[in-house]
Amino acid sequence: MTAEHHTAHHRTGNPRLDLILGLSAMFVSVVSLGVAIQHGHAMDRLVAANSWPFLMYTTANRDSQGHERISLTLMNQGVGPARIETFEAWWQNQPVTSALDLLTRCCGLDSDTGDRAAPMPHGTVSLGAVAPLVLRPGDSQTFLTLDRSEANAEIWQRLNAARIQIKMRACYCSVFDECWVSDLQHTNAQRAKSCPAVKVPFEVPANWSQ
């Protein structure tokens, strides 16, 4: 025959004290659960913070050797990769479709040029794609570079003045699909559930030859 042993909950014999002890144990359990949940949320926020991307627009009119070169660049100044989904640009409140379109509208480039033809000789201008693109932390992508020459001096001067007046907007996401929409000039990027398609994307022209 096997003897059965039952362990009874220890009671003090004082009903009021037993009730207080029971409620105290329940309170401690609830507090412990709350602390665990808060800790989990804090860890989630920490992981998100350690993967946070942040895009900014930067521009310069000289390269590292001091040559007169205008560059329009997007840089990921965050701590996580930035998956750029869409990019748009405007000149005087009108959307532009490419860097060549921008040069036509702001700076007097012949709209019939469409490639590296006059007034910009071969090698003075280069274009780069912005979206879709993934930028690692600290990486940058230049979407327009214009070297100054005698042939394009007037266009160069106009772009030098226009480069700080261009309006832009990008939608980018983290590796956890957290997305933001930003004008790339301020720190108050707006959270977004996803990146919708844009009406006039800013792209490299199809007929542009490297």
The predicted-structure confidence for 89-98, as pLDDT tens digits, reads as follows 999 999 999 9
pLDDT of 109: 87
Yes or no: say if 103 and 75 are a contact pair by the CB < 8 Å rule. no
More confident residue, 104 or 11: 104
More confident residue, 16 or 57: 57
Q: What are the tens digits of pLDDT across the range 130-163?
A: 999 999 999 999 999 999 998 889 999 999 999 9
Angstrom distance (rounded) from CA 17 to CA 183: 63
Angstrom distance (rounded) from CA 54 to CA 184: 9
Whether the predicted pLDDT of 50 surpasses 60: yes
pLDDT of 19: 65
DSSP β-bridge partners for residue 154:
none
Give the N- to C-terminal CA distance of the chain in Å, as an integer: 92
Angstrom distance (rounded) from CA 172 to CA 45: 19
Average pLDDT of the residues in 27-40: 65
Whether the predicted pLDDT of 121 surpasses 80: no
More confident residue, 203 or 37: 203
pLDDT of 26: 75
pLDDT of 15: 72
Q: Is residue 59 classed exposed, middle or buried when 0-12, 13-18 and 19+ CB atoms within 10 A define those classes?
A: middle
Average pLDDT of the residues in 16-37: 67
* CA–CA distances in Å: residue 119 to residues 4, 104, 148, 179: 100, 12, 12, 41
Type of residue numbered 24 = S
pLDDT of 34: 67
**pTM to 2 decimals?**
0.75
